[in-house]
Amino acid sequence: MSQDDVYTTREAALRLGVSLRTVQLWVESGTLPAWKTLGGHRRISREAVDRLVREQEVSLEIEAADQRLTILVVEDERSLQELYEHTLGGWDLPLDIITAADGYEGLLMIGEKRPDLLITDLSMPGMDGLRMIRTLKSAPEFRDLQIIVVTALDDTEIEDRGGVPEGVTVFRKPIPFAELESIVREHYTGSP
């Protein structure tokens, strides 16, 4: 092999973004194949280092994908679904926005996609938002799902329908995007 095909341990450490000692430990453990020169210096093939760099990049991509928030919007009006998708998508956050047209479809999406946050209307044909929320709150695996209601119903109408469970945030239409953005950003960063 030529000098262009190998790294010293120091060059490998710089390329990998780790300490010299880490490279030495990887060499000793066999994680990074190397050999010693007649003078006792370790040499590592560029190919082995480049392969490890690619593995690190893939690992970081997977980690970054895990940091995306999935938001489910349950709304029967297609124009409002599109408004949510467009507005939330413009917040410059790593969000995956999915939609459902009623509570039944919402429950299916929740079981399939496991969203981090649910934004739902209450008045919908088929299974309404209240029934969907009550179903979720009765299932231990979904009790901690953050739920936000955006509705045109007033407090009396909501109470007449049995009210929303404790811990559910309720907003009135028109959609309060500034408040939603604040909640989503807090949910993403974990701090207000």
Under DSSP, the state recorded for 174 is S
pLDDT value of residue 66: 57
Query: Could you give the CA distance from residue 29 to residue 25 in angstroms, rounded to a whole number?
Result: 6
pLDDT value of residue 28: 87
What are the helix (H) ranges across the chain?
9-16, 20-29, 46-66, 78-89, 103-113, 129-138, 155-160, 177-189
Name the most confidently modeled range: 1-10, 50-59, 179-188: 179-188
Same domain? For 101 and 132 the reply is yes
Residue 91: give its domain's CATH number: 3.40.50.2300
Same domain? For 130 and 113 the reply is yes
Of 12, 30, 63, the position where a domain reaches its end is 63
Percentage of the chain exceeding pLDDT 70:
92
Within 10 Å of residue 6's Cβ, how many Cβ atoms? Answer: 20
Tell me the mean pLDDT in the region 101-117: 93
Predicted confidence (pLDDT) per residue in 110-158, tens digit: 999 999 999 999 999 989 999 999 999 998 888 889 999 999 999 999 9
Tell me the mean pLDDT in the region 149-168: 94
Same domain? For 48 and 90 the reply is no
Predicted confidence (pLDDT) per residue in 42-86, tens digit: 899 999 888 888 887 776 665 555 578 999 999 999 999 999 999
Same domain? For 57 and 39 the reply is yes
The string over 131-162, giving b where at least 16 C-beta atoms fall within 10 Å of a residue's C-beta and e elsewhere, is bbbebbbeeeebeebbbbbbbebeeeebeeee
Within 10 Å of residue 127's Cβ, how many Cβ atoms? Answer: 16
Give the range of the structural domain holding residue 103, as residue numbers without chain letter: 67-189
pLDDT surpassing 90 at residue 169: yes
Domain count, the chain: 2
Residue 59: give its domain's CATH number: 1.10.1660.10
- Rg from Cα positions in the chain: 26
pLDDT value of residue 37: 86
pLDDT value of residue 63: 58
pLDDT value of residue 120: 97
Of 42, 63, 84, the position where a domain reaches its end is 63
Q: What is the β-pairing status of strands 117-120 and 69-74?
A: parallel
CA-wise closest residue to 147 among 117, 171, 127: 117
pLDDT surpassing 90 at residue 16: no
